[in-house]
Chains A and B, each alone.
Chain A
Amino acid sequence: MAVYKRSYRGYAGPLTEEWSRFAIIPRYAYRGLFQSKIMTAFFVLCFVAPLVFLFLIYFANSWGRIAAIINERGSASPIGINGEFFIAYLGFQCPLAFILTAFIGPGLISGDLANRALTLYLARPFSRTEYVIGKMSVLLVLLSLITWVPGLILFSVQAALAGGGWLSQNLWIAWGIFAGSWIWILVISLLALALSAWVKWRIAAGALLLAIFFVAAGFGEAINAVLDVRWGKLINLGYVFTIIWHSLFRLRDSFEISPASAWVMLALICGACLALLSRKLRAIEVVR
């Protein structure tokens, strides 16, 4: 019978696995996101830097042949493929990931809260945790695709081209790429979701996210200058991440605050974001 002629009837067919239902949210989100040409173009642009880094790896590993051509036989490659090279890679990709998050993240929850859609989600066999995981995975997947996934591909290419014992000697770099990217992705995703849930307005949430990174950095410097202290740097998130990445990539640069303080700061930010999400994401808002 044609669909338009059917009257109400129950459903007795198969059901999907409960654990897999969080993945419905990113599937629908991507459908909407990639309808935007700007978003699609930006996402494609995010792969330009990995291609450049891939070329640099090829260049560094082919230096012997290139040197022979340009009569520089015996000279060392101007590009060293080491921790600094990959930290520079993260230095390119993570800001792009941040821009992508500022574009996508603020609208993920605010729309649902403003239109009271959360009631509909949570009236189903779908928990708040699954909702947050679903919304976060929209960002986690996209940001992974432009940070650690190409990063590890670059690492693998370097390992294959360098051969010998390079892989075993530099395996910690792979861990640095993976962990450094994930920490960045988790923190900015949580921040974007929490701000989205807090202000319930996409534009304001986006502005707040940018303010947390850029205005807070200036504010931290002001605190240091006025109070003659060093802990003002703790609210400069870019600086905090730099410390953590440097510790992950075993670079011995000196910073004004210790890596332990940086880790504690990130843990506090994540905790605050989770608390805010737990408070704001409710099916029914009780007015006291």
Chain B
Amino acid sequence: MNSVIELEGLAIDLGGRRILDDLRCTLSARTIGLLGPNGAGKSTLINALLGFHKPAAGTARIFGHDVRSGIRQIRNLTGYMPENDAFVARMSAVSYVQLMGELSGLPPEAALERAHEALFHVGLGEARYRQLGTYSLGMRQLAKLAQAIAHGPKLLILDEPTNGLDPPARQRMIRLISEMRESGDLHIILCSHLLRDVEETCEEVLILKQGRIVHYANLEEERRANRKFIEMETVGANGTFTGDIEKLGCACAVTGNNRIKLVLSEGVAIRDLYRVAADRNVQIRRLNYRRDSLEDIFLKAMESELAVKGNANGRL
């Protein structure tokens, strides 16, 4: 698969401080999540990808275009929804989105048509002639999304798109992002500190902390791998039962209170476990796939970073 973003030792200095340091990775999924606590450098990374900050070292590429030399091509291909309020004063939503479409290179007629289309798509169709200044926070978020997609970008960068939204508005935003992902026409980078938003929409996740990459996760693969880990609560299980399961080729461990953790091997299905249990008169009271949620992944990444720091401190 062609890479969407390549980071090659990217470092960014701001105000004499190193904000991002030696970022290296290749991301190619349709939806990419940037996760991290506040101040981790997520927005700085986005700003660097858009050419707002010049790299102090290394470089980054989007669809093969280098941020140092091909920023205009990158901006041609991207749509950006910033984190903060950003609108043009004393302008209706349709004029605002049309203006942004034209600045991206659309002819006026096409920009106007796509402005109407984008505003209907995000759910502001009925309010599109209203002044932006009269919009609520949620509506302004949607207007920002509309201006980001009006020119049909190949890469949509969303910086904290659900900030300040109430639960129904948040759900709507997540649904819109998922719909656009399904359209197959564009890649999405979603920057958020809300794990649920990223988990619901993203396939790849990059976790940042203090300007460094602390973890990369391919959520699709994680989800597939999770299907192999099973936890069972049984009644009547004994050594023979676990022995029979191991004979199927599954790794198995008894954790006490009749709880068994096992890893399914290739070709072994759940029904095989029920068959073995029936043969040995064992009741399976509960059977769960282990769910290594994004929260687990995130916390592990944060903990491992702390452990690394702790060791370093110990050495000092």
A114 to chain B, nearest CB (A): 7
Chain A interface size, as a band, is 35 or more
Chain A residue contacts of B82, Cβ below 8 A: 116, 119-120, 123
A246 to chain B, nearest CB (A): 41
The chain A residue with its CB closest to the CB of B89 is A111
A61-B291 Cα distance, complex, nearest whole Å: 95
A7-B151 Cα distance, complex, nearest whole Å: 14
Which residues of B, 84-113, contact A by the 8 Å Cβ criterion? Answer: 84-91, 95, 99-100, 102-107, 110, 113
Whether the Cβ atoms of A11 and B50 lie closer than 8 Å is no
A78-B99 Cα distance, complex, nearest whole Å: 54
Whether the Cβ atoms of A10 and B154 lie closer than 8 Å is yes
Chain B residue contacts of A119, Cβ below 8 A: 52, 80, 82, 84, 86
Whether the Cβ atoms of A115 and B185 lie closer than 8 Å is no
A182 to chain B, nearest CB (A): 28
Which of B115-123, B160-168, B266-274 lies at the binding interface? B115-123
Which of A157-165, A221-229, A280-288 lies at the binding interface? A280-288
Also in contact, A123 and B50, with CB within 8 A (given A11-B106, A116-B82, A116-B84):
yes
Whether the Cβ atoms of B102 and A7 lie closer than 8 Å is no
Whether the Cβ atoms of B120 and A4 lie closer than 8 Å is yes
Does A6 count as interface, using CB distance less than 8 angstroms?
yes
Contact with B along A1-39 (1 / 0, CB 8 A): 001101111111111101001001000100110000000
Whether the Cβ atoms of A11 and B151 lie closer than 8 Å is yes
A112-B103 Cα distance, complex, nearest whole Å: 15
Chain B residue contacts of A28, Cβ below 8 A: 91, 95, 99
Does A117 count as interface, using CB distance less than 8 angstroms?
yes
Whether the Cβ atoms of A288 and B103 lie closer than 8 Å is no
Chain B residue contacts of A117, Cβ below 8 A: 86-89
Chain B residue contacts of A10, Cβ below 8 A: 152-154, 185-186
Q: Which of A6, A9, A24, A125 is within 8 Å of B75, CB to CB?
A: A125
Which residues of A, 78-133, contact B by the 8 Å Cβ criterion? Answer: 111-112, 114-117, 119-126
Whether the Cβ atoms of B117 and A6 lie closer than 8 Å is yes
The chain A residue with its CB closest to the CB of B44 is A284
Does B58 count as interface, using CB distance less than 8 angstroms?
no
The chain A residue with its CB closest to the CB of B77 is A125
Also in contact, A116 and B86, with CB within 8 A (given A6-B121, A11-B151, A123-B50):
yes
The chain B residue with its CB closest to the CB of A23 is B102
Whether the Cβ atoms of B88 and A284 lie closer than 8 Å is no
Q: Which of B15, B104, B120, B125 is within 8 Å of A286, CB to CB?
A: B15
Chain B residue contacts of A24, Cβ below 8 A: 99, 102-103
Whether the Cβ atoms of B183 and A8 lie closer than 8 Å is yes
Whether the Cβ atoms of A11 and B152 lie closer than 8 Å is yes
Does B215 count as interface, using CB distance less than 8 angstroms?
no
Whether the Cβ atoms of A9 and B185 lie closer than 8 Å is yes
A140 to chain B, nearest CB (A): 20
A265-B91 Cα distance, complex, nearest whole Å: 38
Whether the Cβ atoms of B114 and A283 lie closer than 8 Å is no
Which residues of B, 17-34, contact A by the 8 Å Cβ criterion? Answer: none
Chain B residue contacts of A14, Cβ below 8 A: 107
Whether the Cβ atoms of B89 and A284 lie closer than 8 Å is no
Which residues of A, 263-288, contact B by the 8 Å Cβ criterion? Answer: 282-284, 286-288
Does B218 count as interface, using CB distance less than 8 angstroms?
no
The chain A residue with its CB closest to the CB of B114 is A11
Q: Which of A8, A16, A122, A288 is within 8 Å of B149, CB to CB?
A: A8
Does B14 count as interface, using CB distance less than 8 angstroms?
yes
Whether the Cβ atoms of B120 and A6 lie closer than 8 Å is yes
A15-B90 Cα distance, complex, nearest whole Å: 27
Q: Which of B84, B95, B183 is within 8 Å of A7, CB to CB?
A: B183
Chain A residue contacts of B180, Cβ below 8 A: 8
Q: Which of A4, A8, A16, A282 is within 8 Å of B102, CB to CB?
A: A16
Contact with A along B121-159 (1 / 0, CB 8 A): 100010000000000000000000001010111100000
Whether the Cβ atoms of A126 and B52 lie closer than 8 Å is no
A121-B117 Cα distance, complex, nearest whole Å: 21
Whether the Cβ atoms of A112 and B88 lie closer than 8 Å is yes
Q: Which of B72, B84, B86, B183 is within 8 Å of A125, CB to CB?
A: B72
Chain B residue contacts of A282, Cβ below 8 A: 52
A64-B149 Cα distance, complex, nearest whole Å: 70
Whether the Cβ atoms of A120 and B86 lie closer than 8 Å is yes
B81 to chain A, nearest CB (A): 9
Whether the Cβ atoms of B106 and A15 lie closer than 8 Å is yes
Chain A residue contacts of B103, Cβ below 8 A: 21, 24, 121, 124, 126
Interface residues of B (CB under 8 A from A): 14-16, 47, 50, 52-53, 72, 75-76, 78, 80, 82, 84-91, 95, 99-100, 102-107, 110, 113-114, 116-117, 120-121, 125, 147, 149, 151-154, 179-180, 183, 185-186
Q: Which 4 A-B pairs have the closest CB atoms?
A: A11-B152, A15-B105, A111-B89, A288-B15
Q: Assuming A3-B116, A121-B103, A123-B50, what are 4 further A-B pairs, CB within 8 angstroms?
A: A8-B121, A13-B107, A120-B80, A123-B75
14 contacts between A and B (CB under 8 A): A6-B121, A7-B121, A7-B183, A9-B152, A10-B186, A11-B110, A12-B152, A18-B105, A28-B95, A115-B87, A119-B86, A120-B100, A125-B76, A288-B15
